Amino acid sequence: MELELDGAPLKAVLNRLRRAQGQISGVIRMIEEGRDCEDVVTQLSAASRALDRAGFAIIATGLQKCVVEIEDGRRGGEDAEQLRARLEKLFLSLA
């Protein structure tokens, strides 16, 4: 399954990833500065949520594409059970 995001879905995913990138940079800076542990963990948690949301958005877009391909009969050689197993594995990788 190729990742082909365009328009609004791509922009939203990239924004989330950039936000996470900034938050991770902030965590690194906070640790280097010896900031309070609670502040560091709070910032790290925010970065983790941003990454999770980006991952789920990518999976949702991929799922939508797969459904369209199956309906159009373009899912070469992969049956519904194989596709379900692959998508389940993707979802679990973010759990």
Per-residue pLDDT of the chain (95 residues; tens, 9 = 90+): 455 556 677 788 888 899 999 999 999 999 999 999 999 999 999 999 889 888 888 777 777 766 666 666 655 566 777 777 877 787 777 76
Packed helices 80-93 and 37-71: angle between N→C axes, nearest 10 degrees:
170
The closest alpha carbon to 47, from 79, 72, 74, 25, belongs to 25
Separation between Cα atoms, residue 70 and residue 48, nearest integer Å? 33
Predicted TM-score of the model (pTM): 0.67
